[in-house]
Amino acid sequence: MKTDRIELLANAPVTKAIMVMSLPVVLGMMVQVLYNLVDTFFIGKLGDPNQLAAANLAMPVFILMMALGGMIGTGASSYISRSLGEKKQEQADKTLTIGFFLCVVLGVMVTIVGLLFLKSLVSVLGASSETSGFAVEYVLVLFLGGIPIITNYAMGQLLRAEGDAMGAMFGMFLGTVTNIVLDPIFIFVFGMGVRGAAIATVLGNSISLIYYLMHYAQHKTLLRIDPTLFSFDKTVFREIFSIGVPSSLSQLLMGIALIVLNNIASGYSDIVVAGLGVSTRIISIGTFIFMGFAAGCQPLAGYNYGARNFARVRAVIVQGVIITSTIGVVLSIILGIFAKGITGIFTTNPEVADTAAIILRALIVSLPFVGGQMLSTVTVQAFGKALPALFLSISRQGLFFLPLLLLLNALFGFKGFIYAQPATDVLMFLVSSFTLWHILRKEARKTL
């Protein structure tokens, strides 16, 4: 089986390789989307827009925690894929081990810092007097689950780096199903409301993490976590953070951008905050599909870059963009036609449903462009190109979205507010595609 994984990365037909690597991740992501939607559905059935708004206000905290896990997971995965392509098995094992222990340390630090500054942070998130208490309940539970949330997010990436997409998918599936089952129990049966949804989230991540650790312990993987391999290896640390930090900056900026977005939304009303939460979770159907394809293509691009097979790298990129753009167009049409009916599923408040439908119809403009943008960005990360990866990571939220959000909201009010993200994604598709092809052309010339 281990030999088959290398064969898949190196020689299988490109479309087949993309599908084999990506579909398990996409399926796992769809389970995650199902969790997001079910979570929103159950909170919405409480009939309290303030609790629905509070869950949306807490989302940046979850994103920031995933950013820390992604920093380690993306950086270590990039180096693992390249090490395997260069036939350096022990270096790949060492990178995996160091990555795991770094996640645990970060989890402890996040829990301590989060608990110390809990109430101040909730205020920064944009909570009003009506939503503040609910937001505190949600965020408190997330901070207590720092270790499983951060480490679980990274471990799925680390498994995919060695071609074990099915193992990563099953772990995600197991945790998310646990989450979905526990949601109504904690929210309604135990009467915990939005706090119950947060507890279900942490427990779901914990179950996934336990599965991943057992998967490694039972030697079902190409790589192994071996505490004896842990060291302060300068090369490994440099490789992890030179790629991981740019990658995490993208998610960190996403969290910051969401805080700014929610603060602007709260300036309109808590109804807009709640509607924004519903619409962004629905649009995550497309976002998570594209993340799945990007994650599936990353090991293919990294392995073949390490093997200097640039023709295969280009083929992976072209096929990946075609697949994701086609899916984006189809989703845009479906969500645009049925926007009002779909948003009405997730809230009993008609005003929230109407507002969410308006926002959703603006956000679908992004869908044909997001997949190619994500694929280009993760491919640059897979190449180990630290500075271009940093540029792309800070561009989407820092250079484009935040300035456009503030400018368009000031000029056009609510309409400018909701169309800032689509405008950003079109620009980022062009910038990321140009950056990737420039790197590929330059690297290919070196081999002549």
Tens of pLDDT, residue by residue over 110-153, are: 999 999 999 999 999 988 888 999 999 999 999 999 999 999 99
Which pLDDT score, from 0 to 100, does residue 245 have?
83
Q: Which tens digits make up the pLDDT trace of 193-246?
A: 999 999 999 999 999 999 999 998 888 888 888 888 888 889 899 989 988 887
Answer whether residue 448 shows pLDDT above 60: no
Cα 310 → chain centroid: 27
Mean pLDDT of the chain: 89
pLDDT at 422: 96
Q: In whole angstroms, what is the distance from residue 203 CA to residue 209 CA?
A: 10
Q: Is 2 a residue whose pLDDT tops 60? A: no
CA distances from 188 to 18, 45, 49, 182 (A): 41, 10, 16, 10
| Structure confidence by residue, pLDDT tens digits, 272-302 | 999 999 999 999 899 989 988 998 888 888 8
pLDDT in tens, 154-204: 998 898 888 787 888 889 889 888 988 999 999 999 999 999 999 999 999
- Three-state helix/strand/coil letters over the chain: CHHHHHHHHHCCCHHHHHHHHHHHHHHHHHHHHHHHHHHHHHHHCCCCHHHHHHHHHHHHHHHHHHHHHHHHHHHHHHHHHHHHHCCCHHHHHHHHHHHHHHHHHHHHHHHHHHHHCHHHHHHHCCCCCCCHHHHHHHHHHHHHCHHHHHHHHHHHHHHHHCCCHHHHHHHHHHHHHHHHHHHHHHHHHCCCCHHHHHHHHHHHHHHHHHHHHHHHHCCCCCCCCCHHHCCCCHHHHHHHHHHHHHHHHHHHHHHHHHHHHHHHHHHHCHHHHHHHHHHHHHHHHHHHHHHHHHHHHHHHHHHHHHCCCHHHHHHHHHHHHHHHHHHHHHHHHHHHHCHHHHHHHHCCCHHHHHHHHHHHHHHHHHHHHHHHHHHHHHHHHHCCCHHHHHHHHHHHHHHHHHHHHHHHHHHHCHHHHHHHHHHHHHHHHHHHHHHHHHHHHHHHHHCC
Question: What is the average per-residue pLDDT within 249-262?
Answer: 87
Q: Global pTM? A: 0.80
Helix (H, G, I), strand (E, B), or coil: what is residue 354? helix
Percent of all residues in the chain with a pLDDT value above 90, rounded to a whole number:
50
For residues 29 and 133, give the distance between their C-alpha atoms in angstroms, rounded to a whole number: 31
Say yes or no to pLDDT of 447 above 70.
no
Q: Is the pLDDT of residue 397 over 60?
A: yes
Comparing 3-7, 9-13, 53-57, the range with the smallest average pLDDT is 3-7
Crossing angle for the helix pair 14-44 and 270-306, to the nearest 10 degrees:
160
What average pLDDT score do residues 301-309 get? 83
Integer Cα distance of 82 and 327 in angstroms: 29
